[in-house]
Each structure stands twice: as C-alpha cells, then as structure tokens.
Amino acid sequence: MAEMASRSTRDAIRWGLLLSAVAVAGFRLPSTYSTFRDWRAVRFSDPSAAELYRLNFTANVVGIVIVLAVAAAVFYFLRPRISKRS
C-alpha cells in the first residue's frame, strides 16, 4: 500500500510540473506572437526598433523552449520504474 501512495505522489508531481510548464509557455505565447508580428512590421523601416523586437522575440522563444525542455526532462526522469521480475 505504501508503494501505491509513493507512486501516486510521484505521478501527481510529474503531471503537475508538466501542466505548470505548459501553462507558463501558453502564457508567454501571445506576447511572443505579438512581438514577432511587430518585428516583421518594422524590420525594413526602423532597424533599431526591429532589433529590439527581435531580441524580445528571441528571449521569449528561448524561455518557452527552456521551460518545456526542463519539464519534459523532469517528466521523463520521474516516470515509474519497471522492475525486472523473473
């Protein structure tokens, strides 16, 4: 019974971390899209503003990728162990 409770807690932590990472990425997505759209609009007319928009877009994308990669790694490493019984 203790094994089941331990596994249940581990699964709750796995799914909770994955859900929170997806929520963080989803929260940053509209801002990232808006920055990308603004960068595309001014890239030829105002290079200094375009550089700032590009920098913000790049930072948002890198942040989203890092959060999702860490969450996927934690989700993978906290998976249930398969015991080999002969």
In this predicted structure, the answer to whether residue 5 has a pLDDT above a threshold of 60 is no
| Residue span of the structural domain in which 31 resides | 13-77
Q: Using one digit for the tens of pLDDT, what is the confidence trace for 14-71?
A: 999 999 999 999 999 999 999 999 999 999 999 899 999 999 999 999 999 999 999 9
Is the residue at 62 inside a domain? yes
Is the residue at 42 inside a domain? yes
Residue 6's pLDDT is 59
Total structural domains within the chain: 1
Is the residue at 21 inside a domain? yes
Residue 28's pLDDT is 94
Is the residue at 2 inside a domain? no
- Read out DSSP for the chain? -HHHHHHHHHHHHHHHHHHHHHHHHHHHHHHHHHHHHHHHHHTTT-HHHHHHHHHHHHHHHHHHHHHHHHHHHHHHHTSPPPP---
Residue 78's pLDDT is 84
- The pTM of the whole model exceeds 0.85: no
Is the residue at 86 inside a domain? no
Residue 8's pLDDT is 78
Is the residue at 69 inside a domain? yes
